[in-house]
Structure 1
Amino acid sequence: MPATTLRHIAPVFVTTDLDRALRHYRRLGFSVEAYAGADFYGYARRDGLEIHLATVEPIDRATTTSCAYVWVDDAAALHEEWSAAGVEGRLHAPSPTEYGLDEGAHVDPDGNLVRFGSPSSRETHGDAR
């Protein structure tokens, strides 16, 4: 039996520019703040989720491996919201998977990946006879 219960997890995403990263996640609907006025660490929070942002130099955007998966109520609605925000980076529309989820993704300007998914709105697996 475990000695304690795990309560929360917060991925740490790297950035070369904390101010830019905080602005980016604010436009995605997160509340953001720098750690005690520091220019090297900050937080982005939304709906009980938390992403930490840490300044690291240099970053190879082609090989950055920070990633988080976010379960959402409606992946298509989140994609529409983030599309309307007009943020930098890459945004991929959700598509149905063979395992019953609609999944999309966003890669921020530093190469950090946020994948998101919700139960599929379409039948994508099994026999439809």
Structure 2
Amino acid sequence: MAENNSTFGKAIPVLASLNIPRTLKFFDEVLGFKTRHQEDFSYGMAARGQVEIHFWLCDDKHIAENTSCYVRVDDIESLHAEVKRKLPALGDITRTAWGMAELYVMDPDGNLIKFGQALEE
């Protein structure tokens, strides 16, 4: 059997959106991302630092409500303070049994965005 020497780059989640402009606005204004591209109303891309998230137009809210992505961050406390100013109902940071401090944000479409920082960092 041949050895596989492929190198992986970064993964880019592609989340469902019921309204691409609204989704991109939320990621821009609330989560500090910047829109990189919007293709009509059918596809969008947002980025913050090295993190990039794409969105595809979907008319089934059930799909978005059962989708999530996980984003590693290096300062969960600062992120919490930043987002809390824009989403006053945002929950507290959760410390998990698997050694992470996590923050959970639901976007307008129902996608769960989980932000996490290793507790030993």
Same fold (TM over 0.5): yes
Structure label with greater radius of gyration: 1
1:30 aligns with 2:33: yes
Aligned residues: 117
Q: How much does 1:102 deviate?
A: 1.3
Q: 1:47 to 1:111 in 2, by over 3 A?
A: same
Q: Which residue of 2 aligns with 1:120?
A: 119
Q: How much does 1:65 deviate?
A: 2.3
> 1:14-29 alignment to 2 at 5 Å?
14-27=16-29, 28-29=31-32
- Write the distance in 2 (CA, Å) between the matches of 1:80 and 1:99: 23
Q: Which runs of 4+ in 1 moved over 6 A?
A: none
Unaligned runs of 5+ in 1: 122-129
Unaligned runs of 5+ in 2: none
- Write the distance in 1 (CA, Å) between the matches of 2:49 and 2:98: 26
TM-score of the pair, normalised by structure 1: 0.79
Q: Which residue of 1 aligns with 2:68?
A: 67
Q: Residues 81-121 of structure 1, C-alpha deviation per residue, up to 9 Å, x if partnerless?
A: 1111238xx73321222232211111111111111111337
Computed over aligned residues only, the root mean square deviation of the Cα atoms, in angstroms, reads 2.1
Q: Once the two structures are aligned, what percentage of the paired residues are identical?
A: 30
- Write the distance in 2 (CA, Å) between the matches of 1:91 and 1:40: 29
> 1:1-129 alignment to 2 at 5 Å?
1-27=3-29, 28-35=31-38, 37-60=39-62, 64-86=65-87, 91-120=90-119
- Write the distance in 1 (CA, Å) between the matches of 2:7 and 2:118: 27
Contact 1:15 1:110 (C-alpha < 8 Å) held by counterparts: yes
- Write the distance in 2 (CA, Å) between the matches of 1:100 and 1:6: 25
Q: Specify the code of the residue in structure 2 equivalent to 1:68.
A: C
